Structure 1
Amino acid sequence: MSQVSAEMKAKSEVYHGDELCQEKTKLLLKEVGLPNGLLPLKDIEECGYEKESGFVWLKQKKTINHKFEKIGKLVSYATEITAFVEVGKIKKLTGVKAKELLIWVTLNEIFVDDPPSGKITFKTPTALFRTFPVSAFVIEEPVKELKNKEEKEEEKQVKQVGNAVEVQEV
């Protein structure tokens, strides 16, 4: 049974399709100051965000497991994930479990400690927690190459140096 009601959808931004939902998910994570690789989902069918309460949801075709190689942890993402987001924090998280030793542990809160420390903490409903470096959940995004010479020309900055003009590539 879905936790996302028709009433909630009516007052939310709702998007459909994997490519658009991937983009919106990464944008939301960036806006709230969380690492962009925190939700490595595949085949997202729908995502939504209700700004007033911070409620978000993601629906994907099937449950997926993802191993975060930098920390050696396996995480399971259900077909529906819901949460409330605010700057630096995800609360009341549903649909996400992490494997600890031989058991799957439900996660219900994720937060970034004081940003300079670069630490991210994952909590369970039983108040157990684990802290890792934020860098373990960051995906390096490829730099988009400029498509044509005109775009390159627009990127040049002209800087006045005395009576001479110096052109620098950015």
Structure 2
Amino acid sequence: MAEKEGAIINKGHEEGLKMAVSLMEEFELPLGLLHLADVIEVGFVKNTGYIWVKQEKNFEHKFKMIGKLVSYDTEMSGYVEKRRIKNLKGVKGRELMLWLPAYEITVDHPLTGNVQIKSLAGITKTFPAEAFAAGQ
């Protein structure tokens, strides 16, 4: 795939998780934003900001502080920049009876601000950043 050209790729759960955490820190994103289980591969293209994560199976996580259920597909991807992920694929949030794909995530400030999540359906939700802290 052309968008993966020149990528740094880490394979396996331990190495992939380390890379994912490192990228979240570098781009000032809350460490608990993406819950990962059984990681197969994490890749990042420095020139474009393209990132992807492959894991063995779909995974659901409930963010207790905000009462939201989020589904992570076996492959997620997007373009990362400081405090933002754009063109996100593979992440959906449960809203009433529907699963809405998250398209863009923006962080006002990683520790004290808000996290805005935009869906393809045009719905934007704002949550406190601490809801996505590591361990939540």
- Determine if the alignment matches structure 1 residue 18 to structure 2 residue 18: no
Offset of residue 113 of structure 1: 2.0
Offset of residue 114 of structure 1: 5.2
Distance across 1 between alignment mates of 2:125 and 2:86: 15
- Determine if the alignment matches structure 1 residue 71 to structure 2 residue 66: yes
CA-to-partner distance for each residue in 1:70-90, whole Å, 9 max, x for gaps? 111000000000000000100
Partner of residue 83, structure 2: 88
Offset of residue 98 of structure 1: 0.2
After TM superposition, the structure 1 = structure 2 runs for residues 115-130 of structure 1, keeping only pairs within 5 Å, are 118-130=113-125
Structure 2 unaligned blocks of 5 or more = none
TM-score by length of 2: 0.94
CA-to-partner distance for each residue in 1:121-154, whole Å, 9 max, x for gaps? 00011321100000000015xxxxxxxxxxxxxx
Point out which structure has higher relative CO (alpha carbons under 8 A, 6+ apart): 2
- Indicate conservation of the 8 Å contact 2:30/2:110, yes or no: no
- Determine if the alignment matches structure 1 residue 31 to structure 2 residue 21: no
Q: Secondary structure at the match of 2:79?
A: strand
Q: 1:17 to 1:132 in 2, by over 3 A?
A: same
Q: Secondary structure at the match of 2:28?
A: coil
Structure 1 unaligned blocks of 5 or more = 141-170
Distance across 2 between alignment mates of 1:134 and 1:61: 28
- Indicate conservation of the 8 Å contact 2:41/2:54, yes or no: yes
- Give 1 or 2 for the bigger CA radius of gyration: 1
Distance across 2 between alignment mates of 1:136 and 1:33: 15
Q: 1:117 to 1:94 in 2, by over 3 A?
A: same
Offset of residue 23 of structure 1: 1.1
C-alpha RMSD of matched pairs (Å): 1.4
Distance across 2 between alignment mates of 1:28 and 1:116: 16
TM-score by length of 1: 0.75
Give 1:112's match in structure 2, choosing from 103, 107, 111: 107
The percentage of counterpart residues that share the same residue type is: 41
Task: Write 1 or 2 for the structure with the bigger share of strand.
Answer: 2
User: Where does structure 1 differ by over 4 angstroms across 4 or more consecutive aligned residues?
Assistant: 114-117
Offset of residue 10 of structure 1: 4.2
